Amino acid sequence: MEDPVVNANDVNDFDEESVKIKELEDKISELESTLKSKDETITSLQSEVERLNTEIKSRSVPSKKPASAASDPKSKSVGAKKTSTRPTSGAKAVPKPAPVSNGVAKKPAASPSKRTGSAASRPKSAPTKPAVAKSSTGKKSGKVSNKVEMTKGIDGAAGRSNLTWVDLGVAGQKEHAVKLMLRGRGIVCYPPTDFTMDGIVSEKPEETLKINWVYGYRGRDSQDNIFCLPSNELLYFQAAVGVIYNPATRTQRFYQGHNDDIRCIALNPANPSIVATGQAAGHDEKEGDPHVRVWNCETFETLAVLGLGSLQRGVGSVSFSPDGSKVIAVDEGNDHTIYVYDIKKKSAIAFQKGHQDPVLGAEFLPGQNSKFVTYGKGHIIFWDQEGNKLNKKSGLFEKHPKPRFITSLAFTDKGEPITGDSNGNLFLWNPNERKISKAKVGAHEGSIYSIAVKGDEVYTGGQDCKVKKFKSADLSSEDTWELDSATHGRVKALTFVGEDLAVGTYNNGMLFGKFGDQPEQIIFGHGAGDLWGGAEHPSENTFATVGQDKVVYIWDAESHTPKHIFKVEKPAQACCFSPCGSVLAVASTTGEWWVLDSNNGLILSSYKSGPEQIDAISYSPDGNCIAVGSHDNYVYLFESSNLRADYKPIGKCAGHSSFITHLDFSDDGKVLQTTSGDYEHLFWDATNGDQITSTKDMRDVNMATYTCTLGFPVCGIWPVGYDGTDINSLSKSHNSKLLVTADDFGLVNLFRYPCCDPAAEWSSFRGHSAHVTKVRFLRGDKEVFSLGGRDQSIIQWGIC
């Protein structure tokens, strides 16, 4: 029997147009009632708003980014990066974000008792007398500013310019709520009826986050990026973190000095405890430009920061001189400029345009502190530094086939350059004559991405997912080690650890073992596409991640290894466990979703809810219902009392004007709350999909989970200048004491829960390099995991 396919048009049999009209009429009635009660204050409100808007206009700098109704998460893909720095909260505009060091936000010098991101300079009003909130014109570059409304404070909580207490009383009755402004849209958040500010603490949590584990390896768009330390530890990078992994003890150590993508890495041959890493442009106000960081891999002390203000797009390659005194950096700008830096002076001592075409790498010649080689698209160039001048001469291919790209370079035990190219050829070069002395045409099928030399033997890894061994004297073939191309993809990096070989793969994993033997996979990661889907197990210390590479991982959070690995048919976007954890629902980018046995990956049933991407999916607390939030603006409801049988559609939530971003069930499973791409926060009857039009009536409903980024318990997470797409994910701890968010600036942020104070402070932690797409507390609230979208990374954080 074929699995049932559910069409979006079959979910409900009522007249959607009539329902929509009824909803609009109800909203009009509610607005008319509110306006009637405010007749006496409308004139003064309008006057005050006009005055404040005039003041804002006089202080404002025109935004470079036009306002839009919403931003699609699908646009947060490769190359789609926020260029502005993370804004700060507070009643007064603060020009710089809080600097982050080792994952903990520092306190600004001007305010020793408070950190940037707080309302430290804002005076507290008396608890019994509401205070008028101060206005602010603070903005984030590239964002439309939030208008300041005429508002009132309550219980001593003064407001930010985008988050303020308002008096919505009717007929002389006091009725307080919080009004949050996002991109000019006002969102009213009602507190519970018995709510007071007593016990609400605005200070940042005492707890902090510390990286416990970084999953994956950066192999998809990087190569030759694994090194072996004298301790036999492996040095590599993932996202914005330098990782040192010990294969024997299966432990990791981390360098966290970068604020965006690490693009390349090098080890000092004169002192192998010194590392250089180059990064792309980031978000940090002070060190957001591309630069090279030189650091000690034992103490993790940053020894030098090179290239700030001169490098343009990113650092494509770095290399130490043989004596360790200099570093070469290749700029990824249009001129592909080559910079030579003196580490002690921390400045460039020579630079010159590299080539009109991309330059992929640079290496000093062995024993030559002033001579180096660069290579890239259709070229190899031999350089000689004389003082502050760089002289270059191109390599000569003569009768040999000139490749489209030279893709890798190493040196034999005699110091001769050996290159691999996009044609799969190996060339041995005479550096003095700049000519090819020996050639091995067709050494691989496709590009050669990495070359490792051990004694008189040369090992190469290529696009054909093979590692081959050659004699360096004449490039004669000796042996071939063929890996599983379907699982691992191309070979992107090779390095020896004693007699063992570490192999970095295109699918962001790492293999380990002796040449020719069956290798062990020691590092696992997601491959193609962005990574958005993740869910914690309800009772075990495990969590699931699903990616657009169609792979489903269920991770053991203690051993940091996959407990199960499954495959699905389409790129995956979201997932959730059932309340008992026996099944895992996985949703795709094309509207399909599946119910899998979480122990063996068997597909129990499959469905299609609309034609578009599904960003949110969740079971009710009792497991009797599952809600599926789609990019077609609908939430599809299914009866799922028998988790392993076919699910039956019971309704469709129709009312959002943009795609569904998050959803949560109430404790009793009868109410559903949802948010959308245009910052709507709506409530629904989870038994049939009918909209509950009165948000005020939902003020006392307790949610079983809280992942929606809007609502009274989380209204304090929004700094001034953020729009509704800058916070991608949110999670409340199971003990309801902490709140963690993930944003577009590579940060994971920790708040107290509930976070409803306009003066709420937070701590920010860095590890990801781009937008952080998901964050969740693990069972027991001792750890958190977060996902990086474009960097495809998974970071497991300990709560300290």
Query: pLDDT tens-digit profile of 139-170?
Result: 333 333 332 232 223 333 334 567 777 776 55
Of 42-51, 359-368, 458-467, 608-617, the one with minimum mean pLDDT is: 42-51
Give the whole-angstrom CA distance, residue 707 versus residue 574. 13
In the predicted structure, residue 68 carries a pLDDT above the cut 60:
no
Identify the pLDDT of residue 138. Answer: 30
Proportion of the chain above pLDDT 90, given as a percent: 69
Is the residue at 354 inside a domain?
Answer: no
| pLDDT confidence tier of residue 7, bands split at 50, 70 and 90 | very low
Give the whole-angstrom CA distance, residue 726 versus residue 183. 11
Identify the pLDDT of residue 770. Answer: 80
pTM here is: 0.81
* DSSP conformation letters of 50-67: HHHHHHHHHH----SS--
| Whole-Å CA distances, 383 to 170, 220, 371 | 79, 29, 6
Q: Is 49 exposed, middle or buried (0-12, 13-18, 19+ CB in 10 A)?
A: middle
Identify the pLDDT of residue 13. Answer: 41
Query: pLDDT tens-digit profile of 206-254?
Result: 999 999 999 999 998 999 999 999 999 999 999 999 999 999 999 999 9
Is residue 381 within 8 Å of residue 393, measured between CB atoms? yes
Is residue 670 within 8 Å of residue 658, measured between CB atoms? no
Of 147-156, 290-299, 575-584, the one with minimum mean pLDDT is: 147-156
Identify the pLDDT of residue 465. Answer: 94
Residues pairing with 545 in the sheet = 534, 553
Is the residue at 731 inside a domain?
Answer: yes
Which residues, at least 6 apart from 8, have a Cβ–Cβ distance to it below 8 Å?
A: 609, 610, 611, 632, 634, 636, 652
Give the whole-angstrom CA distance, residue 74 versus residue 69. 15
Is residue 601 helix, strand or coil? Answer: coil
Is residue 641 within 8 Å of residue 647, measured between CB atoms? no
Residues pairing with 394 in the sheet = 381
Give the whole-angstrom CA distance, residue 237 versus residue 277. 9
Closest C-alpha among 583, 569, 566, 658 to residue 617: 583
| pLDDT confidence tier of residue 4, bands split at 50, 70 and 90 | very low
Query: Which residues constitute the domain of residue 75?
Result: 66-90+99-209+711-800
**Edge-to-edge strand list for the sheet holding 326-331:** 315-320, 326-331, 338-342, 347-352
Mean pLDDT of 276-302: 93
Q: Which phi-psi region, left, alpha or beta, contains residue 437 (left: φ > 0; alpha: ψ -120 to 50)? A: alpha
Query: pLDDT tens-digit profile of 189-207?
Result: 999 998 888 888 889 999 9
Which residues, at least 6 apart from 634, have a Cβ–Cβ distance to it below 8 Å?
A: 8, 609, 610, 652, 653, 654, 656, 660
CA neighbours closer than 13 Å in the CB half-sphere of residue 451:
31
Is residue 627 within 8 Å of residue 647, measured between CB atoms? no
In the predicted structure, residue 713 carries a pLDDT above the cut 70:
yes
How many residues would you count in the chain? 800
| Residue that has been written with the tokens 């603490």 in this structure | 201
Is the residue at 515 inside a domain?
Answer: no
Is residue 744 helix, strand or coil? Answer: coil
Is residue 679 within 8 Å of residue 660, measured between CB atoms? no
Closest C-alpha among 744, 728, 734 to residue 534: 728
Is residue 421 within 8 Å of residue 407, measured between CB atoms? yes
- Give the torsion sign (CA, 578, 800, 278, 288): positive
Identify the pLDDT of residue 772. Answer: 96
Mean predicted lDDT score pLDDT of the chain: 83
* DSSP conformation letters of 216-266: ----SS--S--EE-TTS-EEEEETTEEEEEETTTTEEEEE---SS-EEEEE
Closest C-alpha among 234, 308, 315 to residue 267: 234
Mean pLDDT of 524-542: 94
Is the residue at 793 inside a domain?
Answer: yes
Is the residue at 136 inside a domain?
Answer: yes
Q: Is 790 or 370 the better-scoring residue by pLDDT? A: 370
Give the whole-angstrom CA distance, residue 430 versus residue 395. 9
Total domains in the fold of the chain: 1
Give the whole-angstrom CA distance, residue 554 versus residue 786. 14
Q: Is 719 exposed, middle or buried (0-12, 13-18, 19+ CB in 10 A)?
A: buried
Identify the pLDDT of residue 774. Answer: 97
Amino acid at 178: V
Radius of gyration of the chain (CA): 29
Query: pLDDT tens-digit profile of 493-530?
Result: 999 999 999 999 999 999 999 998 999 999 999 988 89
Identify the pLDDT of residue 721. Answer: 77
Give the whole-angstrom CA distance, residue 437 versus residue 680. 68
Question: Can you read off the two tokens belonging to residue 643?
Answer: 């988790």
Is the residue at 107 inside a domain?
Answer: yes
Name the phi and psi angles at 376, rounded to 5.
175, -140
The 10 Å Cβ neighbour count of residue 50 is 10
Question: Can you read off the two tokens belonging to residue 469?
Answer: 């061994």
Give the whole-angstrom CA distance, residue 700 versus residue 692. 14
Is the residue at 727 inside a domain?
Answer: yes
Identify the pLDDT of residue 239. Answer: 95
Question: Can you read off the two tokens belonging to residue 692?
Answer: 């509950």
Is the residue at 32 inside a domain?
Answer: no
Name the phi and psi angles at 478, rounded to 5.
-120, -45
Give the whole-angstrom CA distance, residue 349 versus residue 739. 48
Find the helix or strand (DSSP H, E) in which 488 lies.
Answer: helix 485-488
* DSSP conformation letters of 354-366: --SS-EEEEEEPT
Identify the pLDDT of residue 41. Answer: 53
